[in-house]
Amino acid sequence: MLDVLAALADIFSSPTMYGSAVRLGGFLAFAALGELVAEKAGTINISVEGSLLAGAFGGAVAYHLAGSTWVGLAVGAATGVLIALIQANMSHRLTADQFVVGLTANVLILGLAGYLDAIIDPIAKRASVIEIPLLSDIPLFGPALFGQTWPTYLLYPLFPITWWLLYRTRWGLEVRSVGENPQASDVSGIDVNKRRRQAVCYGGVLAGLGGAFLVLGQVGSFDTGAVGGRGFIAIAAVYFGGWTLRGTLLGALLFGLADAFRLAVPVLGYQLNAQLLAALPYVLTIAVMYFITKPFRQPAALAHPFIRGLR
Amino acid sequence: MTKRFGKVVACDEVDFTLRRGEIHGVLGENGAGKSTLMRVIFGLTLPDKGVMKLDGRSVRTLDPLEAGRRGIGMVHQHYSLVDNLTVWENAALGEQGRIDPAATKQRIREISEKYGLEVDPDAWVRDLPAGIRQRVEIIKCLRREPRIIILDEPTSVLTPAESEQLFDVLAEGVKSEQWAVALVSHKLDEILRAADRITVMRHGRVVERYLTVQADAPSLARAMVGRPVALRAVTAGLDAAASGAPVGKAAPTGSGEDEGAGFERAPPVLRIEGAAVKAGDGSVLLDGLSLEVRAGEIVGMVGVEGNGQTPLADVMSSMLELDEGRVEVAGRAVTTGAAGAMARAGAAVIPADRHRSGCVLGLTVAENLMLSLLDRMHNRGLLRRDAIRRNALDLVEEYGILTPGPDTPLGNLSGGNQQRVVLARALSADPKVMVAHQPTRGLDVGAIEYVGDRLRRAADDGLGVLLISSDLGEIFALADRIAVIYQGRIVGGMPRSELDMERLGLLMGGAGAAEEAA
Amino acid sequence: MIPGAPPAPGGSAGGWRGRGETALLYLLSIGVTLLISGGLVTITGNSWTQVMGALLNGAFLAPGRWGNTLVIAAPMLLVALGMVIGVKSGIFNIGQEGQLLMGAMAMAYVGTKLAGPGPLLLVGGLILGTLTGGLFAALAAVMRFRRGVPEVISTLLLVFIAFQINGFAITTDWFLRDLDPNRPSRAVTSAQLPAEAHLPVVTLFGNEFHIGLIFALAAAAAVAFLLTRTSTGFKLRLLGSSPNVAQNVGVAVARWGSAALFASGALAGFAGAVMLAGGASSSRLTSGFASNFGWQGLLVALLAQSRPLMCIPMAIVFAGLRTGSGFLAATGVDRKIVDVIQALLVLALLIPPAVQFIRDRRKAAAVAATGAPAEQGAG
């Protein structure tokens, strides 16, 4: 028992663990931030998984062709939006079921990326680490937060930007309004399904960026299994956060930490079954959703399609 | 203006003129086309034919935003406020350009002060009672300084006193700022009370135009329905109470607390004691509600909407579990929240929102009609298709349901016929007690009369009926006894024979809490 | 709260014109799918006609191939039927990939770790596999009905947990790992299911398929019968159409919803057991054993618009694409193109019913406008 505690203390005091927690959590945070906006407008966007993968593949290919991380990130964001556009138009223009669309979009991009990957076989590279002076000297958390590859830093301004968009702009007000009460929004003169499409697309941009970050800021190569259900964990992070920005961030970090723990255990020389460790983030996510989700906090019209004249 | 929905003509060459400095009442029963007319003016519906002229210039409002820019504002009957936003955020919805919280709040305060519509701009709308919400609606409309104001059935969620206040605000605005107000209603008395001119619509056409000073209730009612009708079916509120045309059997005299002539000897078929329940977010839905309904009596429950009527109906539908208190149906305690327990014990419910819990649009008419008889409609798990069909044909005939056939999806029927299906299914299981929540909302006069008569007949046969309605006219016409609900509790009541409008109004407004304590 | 596939349109599309339009829409959708996938193949420098030919040959025409296709179709059909039961009951279980794996794992355990006569092992394994798949799905039911966690997300997350459980099982000595030093491959797998515990094989016109296919066809008929003719099926459909009314008339939402989730997971679990006993990946549990059967079964149900009997031809089409993809190597096209075609097909075929739904909705709104303006919104 004491051994276990000592081992845990060792793992949790290791700076590498927090470094990878920020990397893995950051990846989730990109997706979760976008998912939060989509859900605020009333869509449980399970195609966030597909957007992540599309962003990762698009980013890798663009880097392969252009040799620039910037281009890779931009193209990643753009490919992420492509998936979001399918989701948005199918479910909020044609009123097809959002889960059916999301699921199918995920299968589509999985096949497409696999097919094209075999042909193009993009070579990617990890972006360089930039240590921010002073801030990165803070013990334990300093290097974790401020000693990362530079695409990581794109994430930080996204929080205030997303917050500002949601809570300080008319667009954000309307997004929140259509997720809570589409009928009222409609009679107030808001194009409900347009706002929903836009919110899904915002989610697509961020998830695409997250995918490109995974390849170019974290792993350094592309693999079709790279995302492996982490998009769904990002959705869980939004639930964990009770549909607040702060909570969502916390959720992403928590799940990132679990992922980092999984990686840190063998690195630090401890023996634990690899499969059980790999299952840990998912088990934790499920446990957290079971114990912490407060369904009554969710946007009232979450997952309800809006058709004018139909309550 | 003409508007068709498919083959149905909602508005047929309607002419409508609204002048500055007047309140123009638009009267008609549900489905007469008055809402469609207003939606066209406000840009929520595009007309098929016709022109709209604003200050002599031809215009077309394509959406509510544009209507707002042209100075047209609308106060909606339902659905226009978002619960999880604050008052000022709601007021800012549907405008364009940057939002400025401070200026918006300041503007709300100004309007509040000017018209005596007190409200806190930072309050969450979800925390506000119905009357205050209506204020927010009005402020949201006035904030854009409209010259033309459309009010669609504005009083359905207000107490009589709040309605009076609303009409005062309107009269003030018309006088001092030359507003042009269109007041849409199916309630005769409030149109007579508030409007300067009256347009009566029926079946999508304008049938009569009056100056209010020349109009009287019976002629308006005739114009509205197209034939002479008992006033009780169309009127509501105070006038109906005054004329008080009794229906069914003679009003039982002295069925109140003291004498025990009427229903006092009949056994109670529904007894609710101290029912209390909270919502998931902690808000109180029912707060120690106690109530008794005896066999053969109709108890009318009045109260402003949102004071616990829906939770009560949900409890009686087994959809909501009580935190405290007990429910007895026909003398036996019933577990609340257990699927089907209420129905098995003999409680039937006609819910206010039939699409939410009354009927199933995706199933056929026959399937809907067997819902309450599920146990009798199968043979060792196999559906008895003949029995289901026979049951459907019988009920379709008995209740006069207009349907192409029993296998038609319910969604293809009109609202009135859907409601007949709900009624038929509720009564088909021979219930002991029936909770009828707004059973006639959204129906035309024929259907309203039908539902009322049917309930009365069922009560005469020994059914206990709890009639929950915001339509006082309906309550006065049907109920033997009146109970007032306020904030999840019964705060008082009176037999219909001892009706005291003033006290009733006070009770509905919350003055009964003290009385109850006494 | 979770709507299923687009609700069945109210009436027929209204006369020949409407029906003709709908048919045209379907044709157009399929056309667009073929166009996009064809374009994809052409852009990557290959011949679309060759690909089509290879797919057809591989799926049906070459000797012995349609038997293979039917073998593949059986588990897909089973998974799809589970999905149908879920959707009809308002439950959106999309974790079949994991439930199927759990079922296969149970079959492997019974078949390789327990002693007994082969047929007994087979039957026992099929039953235990069914139960395991169902119970694994029931975890999502507990989360949904006790804590309000949407099953869409929980079932998805459970897929990844199932992958890891499977990985754990085949790498752990006391569990399912094959400890035989003479095993043919160096990959970590479970031991092979004994031949006596395999499903009996039927040979027809030179094509071989195991009786799992018969189970699946029987299941399709049974599900169709259940949903239309029995009171249980009616209760499930009622639950799917209106949970409130269901609760009111005595169909407990939590109990029946859990039952539907269990049934839908059980069918996936059964599918997994059938796959293993039917010789999939040489009757050994491998790390990639599920190999998208769960996802594809799901798509089959979506394509069939949740009609049980329609699932049969759709499963055969999807299985055909899958077996056909085995012949693609000769054309130089990666077999993953088939995944793309499948997903595109589902997406494209979502469009016609959606268009029809909107049209029916307009009609219904018009009817409602006469009787009950409350349904118009602000009426």
Q: What was the ipTM of the complex prediction?
A: 0.85
Indicate the burial class of C235 (C-beta count within 10 angstroms; 0-12, 13-18, 19 or more). buried
The pLDDT, as a whole number, for residue B463 is: 93
pLDDT tens per residue, range B462-508: 999 999 987 787 888 899 999 999 889 999 888 888 888 888 888 88
CB of C228 less than 8 A from some CB of A = no
Q: In this structure, is residue C245 part of a structural domain?
A: yes
CB of C164 less than 8 A from some CB of A = yes
Residues C154 and C268 in one domain: yes
The secondary structure element, H or E, covering residue C211 is none
φ/ψ of residue C181, rounded to 5: -65, -20
CA–CA–CA angle C40, C43, C45 (5° rounding): 115
Q: Is the CB of C378 less than 8 angstroms away from the CB of A97?
A: no
User: Which among A173, A295, A296 is the nearest to B92, CB-wise?
Assistant: A173
What chain B residue is nearest to A187 in terms of C-alpha separation? B80
| CB-CB neighbors (< 8 A) of C7 in chain B | 362
Tell which residue, C318, C323, C330, has the closest CA to residue C58: C323
- How many domains in chain C? 2
Specify whether the CB–CB gap between C335 and C326 falls below 8 A: yes
pLDDT tens per residue, range B300-348: 999 887 889 999 999 999 999 999 999 999 999 999 999 999 999 999 9
More confidently predicted of B77 and C268:
C268
Cross-strand partners of A129: A149
CB of A295 less than 8 A from some CB of B = yes
Q: Is the pLDDT of residue A96 over 90?
A: no
Indicate the burial class of C353 (C-beta count within 10 angstroms; 0-12, 13-18, 19 or more). buried
- B neighbour chains, 3+ CB pairs within 8 Å: A, C
CB of C7 less than 8 A from some CB of B = yes
| CB-CB neighbors (< 8 A) of C354 in chain A | 90, 94-96
Specify the 3-state DSSP secondary structure of B215: coil
What average pLDDT does the structure give for chain B? Answer: 84
Neighbouring C-beta atoms of residue C208, cutoff 10 Å: 14
CB of A307 less than 8 A from some CB of B = no
Q: In this structure, is residue C111 part of a structural domain?
A: yes
Whole-angstrom Cα distance, residue B458 to residue A160? 63
Q: In this structure, is residue C1 part of a structural domain?
A: no
Tokens of B395: 């009920």
- C neighbour chains, 3+ CB pairs within 8 Å: A, B
Residues C212 and C349 in one domain: no
Cross-strand partners of A307: A310
Q: In this structure, is residue C116 part of a structural domain?
A: yes
pLDDT tens per residue, range C195-230: 888 888 888 888 888 999 999 999 999 999 999 999
Q: Is the CB of C377 less than 8 angstroms away from the CB of A282?
A: no
The yes-or-no answer to whether B3-228 and B247-346+431-518 have a common fold is yes
| CB-CB neighbors (< 8 A) of A185 in chain B | 82, 93-94
Distances (CA, A) of B173 to A112, B166, B167: 64, 11, 10
pLDDT tens per residue, range C253-303: 999 999 999 999 999 999 999 999 998 888 899 988 988 899 999 999 988
| DSSP state at residue B266 | S
What is B247-346+431-518's CATH topology?
Rossmann fold (3.40.50)
User: Which among C5, C154, C343 is the nearest to A286, CB-wise?
Assistant: C154
The one-letter amino acid code at A32 reads: A
Residues C347 and C321 in one domain: no
CATH number of B3-228: 3.40.50.300
Q: Which residue has the tokens 């149905």?
A: B8
Tokens of B368: 């809907």
Give residue limits of the domains in chain B: 3-228, 247-346+431-518, 361-428
The pLDDT, as a whole number, for residue A97 is: 87
Residues C261 and C357 in one domain: no
What chain A residue is nearest to B68 in terms of C-alpha separation? A189
Going by C-beta distance under 8 Å and a sequence separation of 6 or more, which residues neighbour residue B94?
A185, A188, A189, A190, B64, B65, B68
Whole-angstrom Cα distance, residue A54 to residue A226? 11
| DSSP state at residue A44 | -
Residues C21 and C164 in one domain: no
Cross-strand partners of B72: B148
Specify the 3-state DSSP secondary structure of B287: strand
| DSSP state at residue C57 | I
Specify whether the CB–CB gap between B52 and B61 falls below 8 A: yes
CA dihedral defined by C126, C127, C130, C136, rounded to 10 degrees?
-120
Residues C76 and C17 in one domain: no
CB of B414 less than 8 A from some CB of C = yes
What residue spans of C186-332 are helical by DSSP H? 212-229, 231-241, 243-249, 253-277, 293-303, 311-324
Q: Is the pLDDT of residue A155 over 70?
A: yes
Q: Is the CB of C250 less than 8 angstroms away from the CB of B374?
A: yes
Tokens of C314: 């759709």
Q: How confident is the model at residue C10 (pLDDT cuts 50, 70, 90)?
A: very low
Going by C-beta distance under 8 Å and a sequence separation of 6 or more, which residues neighbour residue C47?
C41, C331
Specify whether the CB–CB gap between C252 and C83 falls below 8 A: no
Neighbouring C-beta atoms of residue C299, cutoff 10 Å: 28
Which residue, among C2, C42, C161, would best test binding to A if mutated, counting the most A CBs under 10 Å from its CB? C161
Specify whether the CB–CB gap between B166 and B138 falls below 8 A: yes
Tokens of B458: 């069922």
Residues C70 and C215 in one domain: yes
Going by C-beta distance under 8 Å and a sequence separation of 6 or more, which residues neighbour residue A293?
A239, A240, A242, C147, C148, C149
Tell which residue, A110, A106, A48, has the closest CA to residue A238: A48
Structural domain of C361: 11-46+335-366
Q: Is the CB of B98 less than 8 angstroms away from the CB of A187?
A: no
Residues C253 and C355 in one domain: no
Residues C41 and C59 in one domain: no
What chain A residue is nearest to C157 in terms of C-alpha separation? A282
More confidently predicted of A201 and C206:
A201
Residues C89 and C178 in one domain: yes
pLDDT tens per residue, range C12-61: 444 556 678 778 888 888 898 889 988 988 888 888 888 889 998 888 88
More confidently predicted of B251 and C126:
C126
Q: How confident is the model at residue B239 (pLDDT cuts 50, 70, 90)?
A: very low
